Amino acid sequence: MKIGIIGAGNIGSTLARKLAACGHEVKLANSKGPQSIQSLANEIGVNAVTREEAVSGVEVIILSIPFANYPDLEPIMSKVPEKTVVIDTSNYYPGRDGVIKEVEDGMPESIWVSEQIGHPVVKAWNAVLAATLADKGQPVGSPTRLAIPVAGGNTYAEAIAQDLVEDTGFIALAAGSLEESWRQQPGTPAYCTELTLPELKLALNAADKVRAPQNRDALIARFMAPGSQFTHEQIVATNRAMTA
């Protein structure tokens, strides 16, 4: 498929690398311009482009930028055809993004994103740590293959997103409508806890909308405490323990 990715951080660049390795034609952009990521693009076999070029002539757009920056994409995304599949990988952290009232009042993050960019999105790859995405993918049929939730409101777009999740080495679990995507937001049992398919189904069902932001903030406080150092395994274990 022809895929444009905006955002060349840990998640965006890892997705670009993995999807290009699967044979997809990938264009990668960031806010600083193609020269700033040309070396990375050469290394992973994708095309470094402007953000405007990334959303032109593609079948899928993956957005992997800081949550608060989504309103900046509206002029670019307004030109995207309705049939283009747009996937949102972002998460809201008020300490980083500032307080966004609609989300604080309970609006699911990806519905807010859809409103900011003027295009419906599918939510995928948001509930996985960058190291998990990079290193924990497994072949189809592996009994320990981890699962990733995919939520959306369009059957075609969800199916495309699920196929791409599978390409990156994970089982794609249809996680319901975009209105239900809060179940995979930070602070929930499904968020960055490295679960198999049966475990992820249980985690989504166990999500508590009131507790989720409380858990999110408590986890950030734990991880950012002075002198704290966590291995990847300890981060996953702490997420599991504090959201159970």
CA atoms within 13 A on the CB side of 177: 3
Determine the Cα–Cα distance for residues 227 and 119; give it in Å rounded to an integer.
42
Residue-level pLDDT at 130: 97
With 90 as the cut, is the pLDDT of residue 223 above it? yes
Mean pLDDT of 116-137: 97
Beta strands in 49-131 (DSSP E): 60-63, 85-88, 122-123
| Residue 235 pLDDT grade (very low, low, confident, very high; cuts 50, 70, 90) | very high
Written as six digits, the tokens of 45 are: 């076999």
Decide: 219 and 185 in contact? Cβ < 8 Å: no
Give 180's pLDDT tier (boundaries 50, 70, 90). very high
Mean pLDDT within 69-89: 96
Domains, the chain, in order of start with CATH, read 66-243 (3.40.50.720)
Assess contact for 193 and 146: CB atoms under 8 A.
Answer: no
pTM metric for this prediction: 0.96
Q: Residue 18 carries which side chain, given as an amino acid letter?
A: K
Instruction: Check residue 176 and give its pLDDT.
Output: 96
Instruction: Tell me: pLDDT of 79 over 90.
Output: no
Per-position b or e across 80-112, b if 16+ CB within 10 A of its CB? beeebbbbbbbbbebeebeebeebeeebbbbbb
Share of the chain above pLDDT 70, in %: 100
